Structure 1
């Protein structure tokens, strides 16, 4: 059972608040690709895709797509004035050199230590770990957007990952359909609840232990 568009957009909208003017931001596939649609007009950002675009803008309207212009997932994108194109070697040069302020990724699980497990889907053929390993190691800040539970209702915010880990101890912030967590040296910190969600719901659906930020106390 997939998440509805409204919930996906709610998560993307909350993620957009983490972005500041002038940043270089890489967007993963899935919910992260919705983030440009939720940026305020006064925030100017360079969105990077590892297939070789810097300066992506919002999703083009139906009929206005450019067949040659897509993001890393192959979906149509638009570009802002001053955008540039390059090969994927240069795209990864930017990533490895630490030029990205934020990478926003999807994940299958995140542990309370910030371990990222997002590359192997049980029972599915996957092409490999891809850019997630590089992005999650080298970006200055790693934000994960995902549903709080999997299709079986199991928590994706876990004590330790049961799926193969992409990169250990790399995630800074997790934003789900229920809550926003920050990962600190002391473990998971619940920063805020999503609209209409109770603390009890988050406790019930989260396998990993967490503490409350001062806003709750």
Structure 2
């Protein structure tokens, strides 16, 4: 059970870092249009600006717990990455030039690895990472990612034309027993510069009820 709790918390950015969104009443339209894909794909990495900010709602569907987290760009670095101020409560995380949140002491549950630009439909790549769980354990993730195309996605922040990335793989604790399969889907919206919705499921050795978490964009303000 401890392994599942560690996995559940480590897989998702308490920001993104949170990151990364399955909530009742918010369904994605699968009516992707070829014209939309031609506009959005291939897609270059985002360009952040100081003051860009995003607020996410993170939910654990098994426990019913949820929390809202705001991330604001405080500085942009020469390599295109950015530093984010996390609120409420303070703390910082780093956002890579490819819109992936990386873990640090302020958001040790962050494990953002799924975006690799340009996001061309049909592109496949591997993504590995590790993150710390609440009990101090380290969880390793290894996944195969596929850029599946463009679709309209509805969130609390509005509707967006987003690029969908599907991840399938395994998670395992660095020490001890446990681990199992995992699945994750993300929707990246170029106009927002971030993932606007994320859905995750992971099982202990493929058995029992899956640990299910969701992250959804609530509001945002970004500069061109």
Bin the TM-score by the shorter chain: under 0.3
Normalising to structure 1: TM-score of the pair?
Answer: 0.25
Greater share of residues in strand: 2
Per chain length, whose mean CA-contact separation is higher, i.e. which structure has more relative contact order (CA < 8 Å, sep 6+)? 2
Higher normalized helix content (fraction of residues): 1
Could you say which structure has the larger radius of gyration? 1
